[in-house]
Every structure is written in structure tokens, then in C-alpha cells.
């Protein structure tokens, strides 16, 4: 009976778009016609099932909420909001760096703090470029992977929100206490002392260069606690691993190695204190796992007495983004650009019953 119900509901949904394909423009009419005529050649699977359904006229329609609606609605506008949020936080961070730069004590007055890693390992000059190159490769890989995801909007939304929040936290920790430069090799730009125009120019330069030293845009000091490079390296690796097939172990391993090498190179280059890197790693992993656990588990999405995860300050925003996402986003891929309809539609049609209805809706739109 349940299969008949499923078929019946699927027919209701597919009734409109597939109306012409079955040769009936009004599928509801066709059922009554069949009843009148009593016999008709079964045209495709749906008619055959309809006929069997006739044998059980006293069936009760069970409303199945998940079937009648897409389990993973795209909602690109929410992704847009998340993007704006991330952009805002990125700009705020840039502004904050410029502000903090004014307060960094000069390295003659305030020498680098004692750091365990620096005691054991001397500075290697080219290591920071390695770190930044790794970061750029990982980011490129992630964008490439993201383009092929089926549920781009949902995953993109999550990425923007998490990275935005991490940069927001970074603003706070950078601003409240200013650490001195970690090494005497730092060439900090001169202080501006109130020249707002020059400050705006610096901000724009920093944004356009992506905050990387390799592009020559990052000449400002003071943004040490916590390390933005570590955040990006860790977060991109976590996303790559989470949203790729599990059997791609070689891919995961390569990304992990690049990420780890990048992080170690930050320290080897004496560009950040060890505590900056550790705290960045900790906060990134915790936020990522926290967010995804809440998103995957139905019981954790609702705020309740036993659900302590909902006590984070960003829970309302999270709920706004994720309330229509039912369950764990499956790891499925699709071509980013849709081919001309004739190439795909015919082959998918045959398997329409095997594939989920959500996929069919996407393909046909």
C-alpha cells in the first residue's frame, strides 16, 4: 500500500510538468476517463500503477511532508545574505587591522614575546610564501569542488556564515589587546596618526590583495591574535573533507598535508605566535563542528532545555539559515552548467522512479 501511496503522490507532483508526456493534458481527467472506459492501454509506469490503485478504492491519503516539498530547498537569497554578512565582517576586519596598526608598539620598545616554537626553530624566510600559496591552492580546490556540488547554495551559505563569524571573533581579539610583532624582521608601515584618507587607501589595498603578504597588500602589523591564515587553511580543509565523497581518501590526504604544511610554515616564518595559531585552530574546528552538528541533527535544531548548543549567540541566525534544510545534506554532485535539455532529459526520465523527486525538480527547471 505504501508504494502505491508514494506513486500516487509522485504522480500528483509530476502531474503538471509531465502532463504532456503521458499524452494527457489533464491527468486528473484521464483517471475518470479510465474509470468510465474501464480499460486503457497502460502508457508508462504511472498509468499502470493508477490502474492498480483503482483496485483499492478505499485507500487513505497519508500526508507525507517530506515528499511534497523539497528536502533541501535552494533559497539562494539566504546565501546572498550570508555572503553579505561575510563581506561585512571581512571589511570590518580590514578596518580593525588598520586601527590596531596604530597601536602596535614599535619593535625597539617592545621586543617579540618569548615563544617556545621560536626558541627551537629559526626563521625561514620563504616559508610564509609557501603557506600563502598552500592557502590559495586549497581555496581554489574548494571553489572548484563547490561548483560541482548539487546543493551549492546551502553549502555556500554555511561557508560564508562560518567564515564571517570567525573573522568577527578575530576582530574582537585583535582589538582588545595588541600583541607586539613576533619577529624583528617585520617591516611595518609607518603610522598614520589620524590621516583618514590614507587609512582608507590602506584598507582598500588590503582588501584588493586579499590580505596576503604575497600580493604585497599586507604591510600592516598588529593582527596577530588570532591567525587569519590558519583560519582559512583549517576551514577550507574541513569543508573540502566534509563535502566530498568518502572514498576520495587520497584527495583528503593531500589537502590535509597542504593545510598542515601551511600552518607549520606560518610558525616557521615567525609570522605569528604559536598561541595565535593554536587558538585559531581551536576556534575554527569547534565552530565548524558545532554548526554542522546542529544542522545535521533534528533534535539540536530546536531550542530546548537540554539543547545547550542553541545557547550560542548566533543561534537565531543559524535557525534562519537552516530551518528549511531537512537533515544532513547528501554528498551529491552535478554539472555546474546544465547541458542542453535533450542530452539529459531522456536518459533521466526512465529512472524517474529511482531518483528522488527533488533531483527531478531541479533537472526539469
Active site residues: 229, 272, 276
Identified binder of other proteins from the candidate list 43, 54, 69, 103, rule CB under 8 A: 103
Q: Write the CA distances from 154 to 15, 112, 139, 337, 364, integer angstroms.
A: 28, 43, 18, 18, 20
Sign of the CA dihedral with 274 first, then 275, 276, and 282 last: positive
Pick from 136, 137, 275, 317: which binds other proteins (CB under 8 A)? 275
Q: How far apart are CA 55 and CA 58, in angstroms?
A: 9
Output 293 or 361, the one with its CB closest to other proteins. 293
Q: Any contact of residue 208 with other proteins (CB under 8 A)?
A: no
Q: Which is nearer to other proteins, 49 or 235 (CB)?
A: 235
Out of 130, 231, 279, 325, name the contact with other proteins by CB under 8 A.
Answer: 279
- Residues numbered 322 to 351 that lie near other proteins (CB under 8 A) are 328
- CB 105 to other proteins: min, Å: 7
By CB under 8 A, name the one of 21, 68, 177, 201 that touches other proteins.
177
Alpha-carbon distance of 111 to 100, in angstroms, equals 17
Residues 38, 42, 47, 48: what is their CA dihedral angle, to the nearest 10 degrees?
A: 90
Residue in this structure with the C-alpha cell 571553489, named with its chain if needed = 143
> What would the grid cell of residue 88 be?
561585512
Nearest to 169 by CA among 234, 223, 236: 223
The DSSP-derived string for 213-224 is: TTTT--------
CA dihedral sign, ordered 209, 212, 218, 220: positive
- Write the CA distances from 153 to 74, 144, 146, 149, 294, integer angstroms: 6, 14, 9, 9, 18
Q: How far is the CB of 289 from other proteins (least distance, A)?
A: 4
Among 4, 9, 192, 312, binds other proteins (CB under 8 A): 312
Decide if residue 288 touches other proteins (CB under 8 A): yes
- Site membership for other proteins, residue 26 (CB under 8 A): no
| 260 touches other proteins by CB under 8 A | no
Element (H, E) at 91: helix 76-101
Contact between 180 and other proteins (CB under 8 A)?
Answer: yes
Among 146, 175, 251, 333, binds other proteins (CB under 8 A): 175
Stretch that binds other proteins, among 90-98, 131-139, 147-155, 302-310 (CB under 8 A): 302-310
Task: Name the grid cell of 271.
Answer: 609570522
CB of 7 or CB of 268, closer to other proteins: 268
Residue indicated by cell numbers 595588541: 178
Q: Is 117 in the site for other proteins (CB under 8 A)?
A: yes
Q: Quick check: 307 binds other proteins (CB under 8 A)?
A: yes
CA 68 to chain centre: 26
Q: Which is nearer to other proteins, 76 or 289 (CB)?
A: 289
Binding status of residue 105 toward other proteins by CB under 8 A: yes
Contact 363, 344 (CB under 8 A): yes
List Cβ<8 Å contacts ≥24 apart for 14-19: 14/46, 14/352, 14/357, 14/360, 17/364, 18/46
The answer to the question of residue 53 lying near other proteins (CB under 8 A) is: no
Region near other proteins per CB under 8 A, out of 44-52, 173-181, 250-258, 318-326? 173-181
Among the listed residues 2, 16, 299, 342, the single contact to other proteins using CB under 8 A = 299
Stretch that binds other proteins, among 5-13, 251-259, 308-316, 346-354 (CB under 8 A): 308-316
What is the separation, in whole angstroms, between the first and last Cα of the chain?
31
Report the alpha-carbon distance of residue 258 to residue 133 in Å, rounded: 10
Q: How far is the CB of 243 from other proteins (least distance, A)?
A: 12
124 touching other proteins, by CB under 8 A: no
Chain residues binding other proteins by CB under 8 A are: 103-105, 109-111, 113-117, 169, 172-173, 175-180, 225, 273-276, 278-279, 282-283, 285-286, 288-290, 292-293, 296-297, 299-300, 306-309, 311-312, 328
Amino acid at each position: 500500500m505504501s508504494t502505491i501511496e508514494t506513486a500516487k503522490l509522485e504522480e500528483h507532483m509530476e502531474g503538471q510538468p509531465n502532463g504532456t508526456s503521458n499524452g494527457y493534458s489533464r491527468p486528473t481527467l484521464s483517471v475518470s476517463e479510465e474509470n468510465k472506459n474501464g480499460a486503457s492501454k497502460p502508457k508508462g509506469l504511472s498509468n499502470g500503477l493508477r490502474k492498480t490503485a483503482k483496485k483499492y478504492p478505499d485507500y487513505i491519503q497519508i500526508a507525507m511532508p517530506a515528499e511534497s516539498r523539497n528536502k533541501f530547498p535552494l533559497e539562494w537569497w539566504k546565501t546572498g545574505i550570508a555572503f553579505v554578512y561575510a563581506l561585512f565582517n571581512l571589511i570590518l576586519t580590514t578596518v580593525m587591522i588598520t586601527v590596531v596598526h596604530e597601536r602596535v608598539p614599535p619593535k625597539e620598545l617592545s621586543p617579540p614575546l618569548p615563544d617556545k616554537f621560536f626558541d627551537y626553530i629559526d626563521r625561514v624566510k620563504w616559508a610564509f610564501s609557501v603557506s600563502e600559496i598552500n592557502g590559495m591552492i586549497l581555496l581554489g580546490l574548494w571553489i572548484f569542488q563547490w561548483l560541482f556540488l548539487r546543493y551549492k547554495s546551502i553549502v555556500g551559505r554555511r561557508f560564508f556564515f562560518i567564515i564571517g563569524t570567525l573573522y568577527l571573533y578575530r576582530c574582537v581579539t585583535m582589538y582588545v589587546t595588541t600583541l607586539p610583532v613576533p619577529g624583528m624582521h617585520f617591516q611595518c608601515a609607518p603610522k598614520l596618526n589620524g590621516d583618514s584618507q590614507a587609512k582608507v587607501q590602506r584598507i582598500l589595498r588590503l582588501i584588493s590583495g586579499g590580505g596576503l603578504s604575497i600580493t604585497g597588500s599586507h604591510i600592516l602589523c598588529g593582527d596577530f591574535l588570532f591567525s587569519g591564515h590558519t583560519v582559512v587553511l583549517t576551514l577550507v580543509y574541513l569543508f573540502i573533507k566534509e563535502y566530498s565523497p568518502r572514498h576520495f581518501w587520497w584527495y583528503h590526504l593531500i589537502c590535509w598535508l597542504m593545510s598542515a604544511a601551511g600552518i607549520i610554515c606560518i610558525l616557521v616564518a615567525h609570522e605569528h605566535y604559536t598561541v595565535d595559531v593554536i587558538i585559531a585552530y581551536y576556534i575554527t574546528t569547534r565552530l565548524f563542528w558545532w554548526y554542522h552538528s546542529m544542522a545535521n541533527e533534528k533534535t539540536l535544531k530546536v531550542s530546548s532545555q537540554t539543547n545547550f548548543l542553541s545557547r550560542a549567540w548566533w543561534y537565531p541566525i543559524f535557525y534562519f539559515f537552516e530551518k528549511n534544510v531537512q537533515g544532513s545534506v547528501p554528498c551529491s554532485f552535478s554539472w555546474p552548467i546544465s547541458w542542453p535539455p535533450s542530452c539529459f532529459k531522456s536518459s533521466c526520465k526512465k529512472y524517474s522512479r529511482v531518483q528522488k523527486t527533488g533531483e527531478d525538480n531541479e533537472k526539469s527547471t
